[in-house]
Structure 1
Amino acid sequence: MGPTRKRDLAAGTGVAAVVCYLLVTFTYRWFPPITVWTGVSLAAVAIAEAVWGHLIRTRIAEGQIGIGAGRLHPLAVARSVVIAKASAWVGAVVLGWWIGVLGYLLPRRHSMRVAEQDTAGAAVAALCALALLAAGLWLQHCCKSPEDRDEDQDRLGAAPE
């Protein structure tokens, strides 16, 4: 399993935005109100993943990976990578969804009162989805072993720290 490529996430976001815009064009009248609390659950998951990433990064730097009391089990790190990849993809697709919704709402804010009311909630939800995408990428980065980080730096032409 390789690292998640940012261009794949960008492509997924773009496809989701186009599909969502087309769906919203035909179904917006049946949408429930979009409040600023709509996407906050994504921000909560993003915060939890960022904290978990910091903890993993600290444990790896201190050499506390392995089996034993007070150590982080290697399978926990592997599971964290899977969660990180899934979160990055969920964040990308949901970000695309909210970009599609905003693409529909923004030009109609002045002609539809409900579109004006929904715009703030859609913008907050898009930011929370972006935070989840970033937290997933951060967690994935934190799960790299020190050898992987050295190889990345060598590949970029930088000297290892």
Structure 2
Amino acid sequence: MHFTRPRELVVAAVLGLVLVYVVFQLAYGDLPRLPTLAGVTFAVLAVIEAIMAYTIRSRIKAGRVTASIGIARSVALAKASSLAGSFMTGGWLAAFAYAFPRRDELVASVFDTRAAVVGAVCSAMLVAAALWLEHSCRTPPRDERQDSRPTTG
């Protein structure tokens, strides 16, 4: 497995944007109103992954890593979260792009615009936290690992 590349995130975001915009074009009138706090789930995941990143990073720097399978699972979680967050950021931006110009015509689009902003911000937070978690799971260069250990003497 390789670390997440920027182009993968861009592709996921564009796919989310296109798919959601097409769905809104075809069926906006039939869809229920978007819940304003629907995107907050991604913010909660972002906080959890940021805490994991901080913990793992400090353990790696201190040389206290005992279970490398846990680090591998964290990398997999980070990769999946960054891709899902990118896809949903694109989707929320599509919802915003569709609803914002129509807020004078449709009352529902005022609420959907708010939900889209909350969702886009929270999804972007998840992408950032996931990328930090992925970065935190990298093994530091050899000289940096040696410098961080306490010396005896």
State TM-score, norm by structure 1.
0.84
Q: Deviations over 1:46-84 (max 9, x none)?
A: 100000000000000111012xxxxxx111001100000
- For 2:151, the equivalent position in structure 1 comes to none
| 2-structure distance, mates of 1:23, 1:148 | 50
Give the gaps of 5 or more residues in structure 2: 145-153
2:137 counterpart of 1:143: yes
1:4 Cα deviation after fit: 0.3
1:36 Cα deviation after fit: 2.3
- For 1:129, the equivalent position in structure 2 comes to 123
1:30 Cα deviation after fit: 2.1
Q: Deviations over 1:104-137 (max 9, x none)?
A: 1111111111101221111101111111111111
Q: 2:98 aligns with which of 96, 104, 126?
A: 104
- The aligned runs of 1:41-56 (5 Å cut-off) are 41-56=41-56
Q: What RMSD over aligned residues (CA atoms) do the two structures have, in Å?
A: 1.6
- For 2:15, the equivalent position in structure 1 comes to 15
State TM-score, norm by structure 2.
0.89
Task: Mark the CA change 1:87 to 1:149 in structure 2 (over 3 Å): closer, same or farther.
Answer: farther
1:35 Cα deviation after fit: 2.9
Identity of aligned residues (%): 35
Number of corresponding residues: 144
Give the gaps of 5 or more residues in structure 1: 67-72, 151-161
- The aligned runs of 1:58-137 (5 Å cut-off) are 58-66=58-66, 73-137=67-131
Q: Deviations over 1:5-51 (max 9, x none)?
A: 01220122012201210111111112222232111111101100000
CA contact (8 A) 2:96 2:113 kept: yes
Task: Mark the CA change 1:109 to 1:149 in structure 2 (over 3 Å): closer, same or farther.
Answer: farther
Partner AA of 1:17 in structure 2: L
| 1-structure distance, mates of 2:93, 2:122 | 12
